[in-house]
A and B are shown apart, each in its own frame.
Chain A
Amino acid sequence: MSAGPAPRTAERMRHAVGFHDSMADLMSQLAPLVRDCLLRGETVALSLAPPTLSALHDRLGDELGGERCARDAITVLAHPDGPQGSCGQSLAVRRTRELEALTADGPVTVIGEHDSHFDGPDGRFWTDLDAAIHVAMAHLPIRMVCFYPRYPLHGVVLDGARRLHPLLWEGGDLHPNPGHRPVREMLAEIPAPAPALLGAPHHAMDLGAEQLVDVRTLVERVLRERECPAERLDDAVLAINEVATNAVEHGRGPARLELWAEPQGCVAEVHDRGDLDDPLRGLVAPEPGQARGWGLWVARQACDYLRVWLDEAGTHVRIHVTV
């Protein structure tokens, strides 16, 4: 069955999962999907592991021959190096910005693939990423197909993939996914992962409304010492102040800031004893003039890495600033 044209009237994301048994199986699903899009003149964005990308290019080269123009419609979304690439929420924010630009001229088909290099200790990176994508990209006119192996190393990868996608890619077409569950219900079962522990912080302070100015002064001093460019410094001060403000304003019990000064920037963590029910807050742009809901959205936009996670001790946020 043909994939069918992505309807020009589509205004919201269609988010699907496809499964494969092997590279050959993956290629047998992937190549026709991409080829049909290109032959229809549609833009395709690929977030694939390098071997898959290489195999796909070879296959399309054979199938499309001299149709270089068609292949120019492919955009490769590279997996970023550094901390951003290991944080599903942060990667979703970056991908959303990239796809907002790509979809300015019309709907786009986006194809992603599980890559075990980013599993982390337990595979929850993928659950975090899919959940964040589902929330952050809901407004985009995209058809997104995420391919997963049927037998990944970590069972949680498969559990998340089966339940987080409302649609299934099977037989070359989209179908409703009977296993789909609401994203926040899923996150209650498979919480967003905590990042790897860092050593003892270089700076730490209890937070109250009167300490916010001290937080800003500290961040500014540390980043100025590292010759941080002005705009990045402004964004970092804004983002870290927002996260600290959230903890003071909404968190329960004492809030605390910890900061690590690194050679290339800094890492800030804010902890409070609140029980924020939604680690994906701040992934959707508030409406213009909306009174609330801006803080975490702006903080996520203003830095490359912002991860929220919850545990029995409360709510935690980590921000990386790279100069």
Chain B
Amino acid sequence: MPRTIEDLDLVGHTCMVPVSDEHAWEATAAYISRGLTRGEQVVYFEDATADRLLERLADDRVPVDSAISGGQFLIVPTEATRAVTTGPLDGVEPAMTHVIGESREQGWPGVRIIGEAARGRIPQGLNSLVAYEQVCDEVLRDNPTARLLCLYDRRRFDEGALDALRSVHGSELTGPPAYDDGLLRVTRPAPSMLRLAGEIDHSNRSVLRGMLDGALEDTLRSVDVPVDVTLDLASLRFLDVAGAVEVIRGAQQFPGTQRVLLRGPRSRVQRALQRCGAGAVEQLVVEPSTPAAGSGR
């Protein structure tokens, strides 16, 4: 079994089994963001997924424009990705070696590879996929500055298949504890911050109430200077009316000296909040999304 890690910087050839789509995008964006920050090259093999990735990177306020124009962040188009993943297995080693070698020749200190490259092998069966990952593993062992993160959708593989795939990766990436029901994912990036990704509706609204109550309790018990509570809503795609009312009523419970900061809500979420009277609540402050994050949504 591979060792289990939480730190993305330790990744060599690593697999991950996200619990939801939001979890997968969260990990993908974090992996890419970290690589760009460290000055490494990032190569993303897309399969009609580039828009969704760029949307999440915008949510996370990861500046990518200069990285793309400067060649640090490469997005391999869908057709090229499919050509690699559906081609013969003996073409994988040269293709990977070429990507890593080219990156090294261009002077990048390391290269991170991620994307949908493995998806094309799924129809060929588990054995083909495991063999593919074995080849990748061998290439990466020979190239320690290269990293590859492979994400496997729990809905597509049973536990036996996942174990077989884990056996050909050096490590497995796990995330910190989070609430995730497949529709809504909530993480706590900082002590006074909650990050909400996905959708809030009647099916999971009680979670929101619990979180707000918890944040209020933490605040009231705080013996230090009170800090504002931040709800990062950049990746929240829908908030129903009762959810918006929960946010508003939750904020009203906070002392007048404190603020509940709503960070980067999308226009649809902001509209729901406004229609429920958020503008009249002194404790609520909306921090608009950045121009990059706001585009196209």
Interface, chain A (partner B; CB < 8 A): 209-210, 212-213, 216, 230-231, 234-235, 237-238, 241-242, 245, 248-249, 288-291, 294-295, 298-299, 301-302
Q: How many angstroms between the C-alpha atoms of A234 and B183 in the bound complex?
A: 18
Q: How many angstroms between the C-alpha atoms of A289 and B254 in the bound complex?
A: 13
Interface range for B = 20 to 34
- Specify which chain B residues have a CB less than 8 angstroms from the CB of A289 in the assembled complex: 248-249, 252, 277, 281
Q: How many angstroms between the C-alpha atoms of A172 and B156 in the bound complex?
A: 77
21 CB contacts below 8 A, A to B, read A209-B201, A216-B201, A216-B238, A230-B267, A235-B271, A237-B238, A238-B240, A238-B241, A238-B268, A238-B275, A241-B238, A242-B240, A245-B201, A289-B281, A290-B245, A291-B249, A294-B241, A294-B276, A295-B242, A298-B275, A299-B241
A248–B202 contact, CB under 8 A?
yes
A213–B183 contact, CB under 8 A?
yes
- Specify which chain B residues have a CB less than 8 angstroms from the CB of A294 in the assembled complex: 241-242, 244-245, 276
- Specify which chain A residues have a CB less than 8 angstroms from the CB of B183 in the assembled complex: 213
- Specify which chain B residues have a CB less than 8 angstroms from the CB of A242 in the assembled complex: 240-241
- Specify which chain A residues have a CB less than 8 angstroms from the CB of B267 in the assembled complex: 230-231, 234
Closest residue of B by beta carbon distance from A285: B277
- Specify which chain A residues have a CB less than 8 angstroms from the CB of B238 in the assembled complex: 216, 237, 241
Q: Tell me the interface secondary structure of chain B in the complex.
A: helix
**Known A241-B240, A242-B240, A288-B277: A213·B201 in contact at CB below 8 Å:** yes
Q: How many angstroms between the C-alpha atoms of A158 and B94 in the bound complex?
A: 86
A231–B245 contact, CB under 8 A?
no
Interface, chain B (partner A; CB < 8 A): 183, 199, 201-203, 238, 240-242, 244-245, 248-249, 252, 267-268, 271-272, 275-277, 280-281
A255 to chain B, nearest CB (A): 12
Q: A212-B201, A230-B267, A234-B271 known; 12 other A-B pairs, CB under 8 Å?
A: A209-B203, A212-B240, A213-B201, A216-B238, A242-B241, A289-B248, A289-B277, A294-B241, A294-B242, A295-B241, A295-B242, A298-B272
- Specify which chain B residues have a CB less than 8 angstroms from the CB of A209 in the assembled complex: 201-203
B242–A238 contact, CB under 8 A?
no
Q: How many angstroms between the C-alpha atoms of A212 and B245 in the bound complex?
A: 18
- Specify which chain A residues have a CB less than 8 angstroms from the CB of B199 in the assembled complex: 213, 216
Indicate which residue in A212, A213, A216, A238 contacts B272 across the interface (CB closer than 8 Å): A238
Q: How many angstroms between the C-alpha atoms of A249 and B240 in the bound complex?
A: 13
Q: For B202, B244, B277, which residue has the most chain A Cβ atoms within 10 angstroms?
A: B202
- Specify which chain B residues have a CB less than 8 angstroms from the CB of A245 in the assembled complex: 201-202, 240-242
Closest residue of B by beta carbon distance from A235: B271
**Known A288-B277, A294-B276, A295-B242: A231·B203 in contact at CB below 8 Å:** no
- Specify which chain B residues have a CB less than 8 angstroms from the CB of A302 in the assembled complex: 275
A288–B201 contact, CB under 8 A?
no
- Specify which chain B residues have a CB less than 8 angstroms from the CB of A235 in the assembled complex: 271
- Specify which chain A residues have a CB less than 8 angstroms from the CB of B268 in the assembled complex: 234, 237-238
- Specify which chain A residues have a CB less than 8 angstroms from the CB of B271 in the assembled complex: 231, 234-235, 238
Q: How many angstroms between the C-alpha atoms of A248 and B276 in the bound complex?
A: 21
- Specify which chain A residues have a CB less than 8 angstroms from the CB of B244 in the assembled complex: 294
A277 to chain B, nearest CB (A): 21
A187 to chain B, nearest CB (A): 25
B53 to chain A, nearest CB (A): 20
Q: How many angstroms between the C-alpha atoms of A144 and B268 in the bound complex?
A: 37
Q: How many angstroms between the C-alpha atoms of A291 and B252 in the bound complex?
A: 12
